[in-house]
Amino acid sequence: MNIRLARVTDDLMAMQAGNLVNLPENYNQKLWIYHLMTWPQISFVAEDPKGRIVGYVLAKITEPDEAEEDAPTGGDAGVTHGHINSLSVFRTYRRLGIAKKLMLQSQHAMATVYRAKFVSLHVRRSNTAALGLYRDALGFDVSQIVAGYYADKEDAYAMKLVLSP
Ligand code: ACO
């Protein structure tokens, strides 16, 4: 399995296809293009030996002077941080450590390229696999419960991990 930077020219369709299959939260193509072109160093894909995309992480950076819509709690205004928009791995490739590797690569790039102080994300309360990954394997903490965050009104855990300089 190869983990490499996502390329807007080659990977957009495959990443979006993975997102549609694996998650109910989907985004229009403009958002994918915007993220990959604005922060090209922090989104990654996993490809199998034939070059097929089997997983991805899509991430963004929030600068100090921007709205804190993704910040997990108040009090983080003025801090450059990363945010994970979407992460998924195709079912037959799960529990092989792919998501963990994608996250670690993205986190490292956030800290080194953008000097991001922490990374945030939202996850459904019922998503035991993702919670296992974020909390147990990567060390994220729940910083807030956001009631009715998702379109179907399920609550989200807002999670946060402080990044090493
Ligand atoms: N149950 C409990 N713990 C789990 C599970 C699970 N099903 N899956 C992963 N973990 C934890 C374990 O600690 C695991 O280590 P171990 O296998 O040595 O026990 C560790 O996370 C690393 O797991 P990976 O193999 O790296 O995870 P995987 O590649 O299988 O991907 C993912 C995990 C992304 C959650 C996958 O199940 C998936 O694509 N699910 C559907 C999409 C999804 O829910 N994405 C996250 C939404 S939140 C967001 O996008 C911000």
ipTM of the complex: 0.99
Contacting residues for 127 by C-beta, under 8 A, at least 6 apart:
none
In this prediction, residues 154-165 reach a mean pLDDT of: 94
Q: What is the pLDDT of residue 76?
A: 66
CA of 103 to the centre of ligand 1 (A): 11
Summarised one tens digit per residue, pLDDT across range 50-62 is 999 999 999 999 9
Atom 43 (ligand 1) nearest CA: 88
Q: How far apart are CA 95 and CA 51, in angstroms?
A: 20
Question: Is residue 140 a contact partner of residue 161, using CB atoms and an 8 Å limit?
Answer: yes
Q: Measured from the CB, is residue 84 less than 6 Å from ligand 1?
A: yes
Q: Is the pTM of this model over 0.90?
A: yes
Q: What confidence tier does 123 reach under pLDDT thresholds 50, 70, 90? A: very high
Angle, helices 29-38/8-22, rounded to nearest 10 degrees:
130
Res 67 pLDDT > 70: no
Res 77 pLDDT > 70: no
Starting at the edge strand found earlier in the chain, the sheet holding 156-162 runs 2-5, 44-47, 53-62, 81-89, 118-124, 156-162, 141-146
Owner of token pair 């729940």: 142
Summarised one tens digit per residue, pLDDT across range 3-19 is 999 999 999 999 999 99
Question: Is residue 150 a contact partner of residue 114, using CB atoms and an 8 Å limit?
Answer: no
CA of 105 to the centre of ligand 1 (A): 15
Owner of token pair 């296992």: 132
Contacting residues for 13 by C-beta, under 8 A, at least 6 apart:
none
Q: What confidence tier does 72 reach under pLDDT thresholds 50, 70, 90? A: low
> Which has more confidence, 65 or 86?
86
Q: Measured from the CB, is residue 88 less than 6 Å from ligand 1?
A: yes
Q: What is the pLDDT of residue 78?
A: 76
Count the helix, strand and coil residues of the chain and give each as a percent rounded to the nearest 5: 35, 30, 40
| Angstrom distances, CA of residue 1 to CA of 11, 21, 57, 67 | 16, 20, 15, 37
Q: Please tell me what DSSP assigns to residue 106.
A: H
